[in-house]
Amino acid sequence: MAWCQRCEYEYEEYVKKCTECGDELVSNLTEDNKKTQNNYEYSILMNVANTMEADLIISQLEAYSIPSYKGYQSSGGYLNIAAGFNYQGTDIFVPKVFLDEAREIVTENQSNIIEDMNAEEVKELEEFEREFNDKRNSRVSLFFIIVVVIPILLALLYNLLEFV
């Protein structure tokens, strides 16, 4: 098997370069031949469901000047290219020195997204309730017309025809 010195991902023997960082692959990964980006030792921050979510989180981290990159587990990179997704998710890596700060940023941003989603859901529910009440009021009005007004009109019409 071939290994990336920087990302520490395993590849098939026929692969010559890492699909994530572009480095040449080595046959054995040891502590001596591991590389780090920007002289940082990277650690996994989290695993997310897909590449789009990883890109979103990486852009949030970049806004705070935290270097990061995404990677895939074993055949995840291949699956992502071949099928457009991979069932293993996407890993996000940050330097170990920024790990705690990155976790705080991601947690804070995710809670803000949840709050925004809750606000949107409340608006949607209020709109649904308004539409439901409008329809219910229309049905009540129609029921009133059918049950009360039409019989009264028919009775009046019958009485008028009876006098003629």
SS3 state of residue 6: coil
Sequence letter at residue 120: E
For the entire predicted model, the pTM comes to: 0.47
Q: For the chain, give every domain's residue range.
A: 1-35
The tokens describing 22, both together, are 């572009």
Pairing of strands 25-26, 42-48: unpaired
CA distance 14 to 82: 17
- Residue 20 near residue 70, CB atoms below 8 Å: yes
| Largest Cα span, the chain | 113
* Closest listed residue to residue 51, CA positions, set 92, 19, 18, 12: 92
Six-digit token string for 113: 């997204």
Return per-residue pLDDT of the chain as tens, 164 residues. 788 877 777 788 888 888 776 778 888 766 655 555 556 788 889 988 887 888 889 999 998 889 898 887 765 555 565 556 666 778 899 999 999 999 999 988 877 766 666 677 778 888 888 898 888 888 888 888 899 999 999 999 999 888 77
